[in-house]
Chains A and B, each alone.
Chain A
Amino acid sequence: MKFGAMKAHRRNRLLLVLFLVAAVGGATTFALLALNENINLFYAPEQIANGEAPLDTTIRAGGMVQEGSVVRDDQSLKVSFVISDMQYSEVMIEYEGILPDLFREGQGIIARGQLNEQGVFVAEEVLAKHDENYMPPEVADALKEAHSSNDS
């Protein structure tokens, strides 16, 4: 498209449309930047450890379930586990209820509940977060085998 060859009124309309897109885009960018914290669905373990999450208010916390941290009560549906960001921070979570099928150690989860003063997150709901990796069961088994033979 030869821009210079366009009729003047069309060129002006095109510029107006482009200006409209740029203006709306700019306004939305500022609005989203201002709302940034509120758009996040959950608090990361690091934010909770740093005291950025409010106490005794219903919030969501998300992270990876730490290997070997899941403790189940024999008599009830009570369960406790630790979520971490795999780097620095950890949060203890207590929950009573049915966990989603995909809940397991090493899996990402998002819990809704309240943080108490002891720094324990008392959850009312636990959701499993699925990652973007898909594979057939045989491949997963093969990967696991290769992984464990590397360890030994």
Chain B
Amino acid sequence: MFNWFHRLGSPRTFFAMTSSWHPWLLGLAACVLVGGSVWALLYVPPDYQQGNSVRIMYIHVPAAILAQSGYMMMAGAAIVYLVWRIKLADMAMAAVAPLGASITFLALVTGAIWGKPTWGTWWVWDARLTSTLVLFFLYVGVMALRSAMEGREQAGRACAILSVVGLVNLPIIKYSVDWWYTLHQPASFKLTEKPAMPVEMWLPLLVMVIGYYLFFFTVWFMRLRNEILVREQHTDWVRTWVSDR
């Protein structure tokens, strides 16, 4: 099993294996996202209290889910890099941080736009909103650390440690609405209970979540392939690959 792990861990093998993936992934992500958006924005019934502003949920909730999943993936890659010193894991970390930061920003902005008509304010410093802002700063911090440090290996290790330390924020975000009094409502979906909304409202949300995941992975792969080419630019196989184009 470790043999396979190490082979996939070679940037060259990964690059060759995934070369045919991203057009398919991109097409699939686009189909699911467009389909889900049309469904959510045009055909989903309005909410009995929020009216049409409930539709912001279909952009906001998947973005918030991906903001946290993305961090989990970054920290996972960080652990792999710290323990096994696989270069590809470091590249994956470098490739995912700006993506995670953008999607966290999207979650914060759409949340504010929803908050104004629903709560009556763009922002409050409650535990959920503040911990999500901290998540955004963690992503930005990892990016800043990488560009500020000399030496690729030291930078990679420092970023990995920061990512792992930041993991502690994820349960805080998740349970903030249960542990403390917040303005943000608790989760509408729990593993053990029925969703707090009818199927015609949560099914398109599920489609959007899947679409966001596909989009996230597609862009991550494309960025990772870019990162591989940049870092391995002096190797023979990259030179051959470039001259073959």
Residue ranges of A at the interface with B (Cβ–Cβ < 8 Å) = 1, 10, 13-14, 17, 20-21, 24-25, 28, 32, 36, 39-42, 44, 62, 100-102, 110, 125-141
Q: Is the CB of A139 within 8 A of B198?
A: yes
A–B complex contacts, Cβ < 8 Å, 8 sampled: A40-B181, A41-B182, A102-B49, A102-B120, A130-B118, A134-B54, A135-B198, A137-B46
**C-beta contact mask, B135-167 vs A, less than 8 Å → 1, else 0?**
000000000000000000000000001001101
Q: Which residues of A lie under 8 Å from residue B232 when comparing CB positions? A: none
A40, A110, A127, A134 — which one has the most chain B CB atoms within 10 A of its CB?
A134
In Å, the complex CA distance between A99 and B45 comes to: 26
Q: Is the CB of A140 within 8 A of B183?
A: no
Residue ranges of B at the interface with A (Cβ–Cβ < 8 Å) = 1, 45-50, 54, 57, 79, 82-84, 117-121, 124-127, 161, 164-165, 167-168, 172, 179-183, 185-188, 196-198, 200-201
Q: A100-B118, A126-B120, A136-B46 are in contact. List 10 more A-B contacts (CB 8 A).
A: A62-B181, A101-B117, A102-B120, A130-B50, A131-B185, A132-B196, A134-B197, A136-B48, A137-B47, A139-B48
CB of A93 to closest CB in B, whole Å: 15
B119, B125, B126, B172 — which one has the most chain A CB atoms within 10 A of its CB?
B119
Q: Is the CB of B118 within 8 A of A102?
A: yes
In Å, the complex CA distance between A71 and B179 comes to: 34
Q: Which residues of A lie under 8 Å from residue B200 when comparing CB positions? A: 136
Q: Is the CB of B47 within 8 A of A136?
A: yes
CB of A44 to closest CB in B, whole Å: 7
Say which residue of B57, B119, B165 sits within 8 Å of A129 (CB atoms). Answer: B119
Q: Which residues of A lie under 8 Å from residue B57 when comparing CB positions? A: 134
Q: Is the CB of B188 within 8 A of A132?
A: yes
In Å, the complex CA distance between A14 and B83 comes to: 5
Q: Which residues of B lie under 8 Å from residue A131 when comparing CB positions? A: 185
Q: Is the CB of A21 within 8 A of B167?
A: yes
In Å, the complex CA distance between A21 and B164 comes to: 7
Q: Which residues of A lie under 8 Å from residue B124 when comparing CB positions? A: 41, 110, 127
CB of A81 to closest CB in B, whole Å: 15
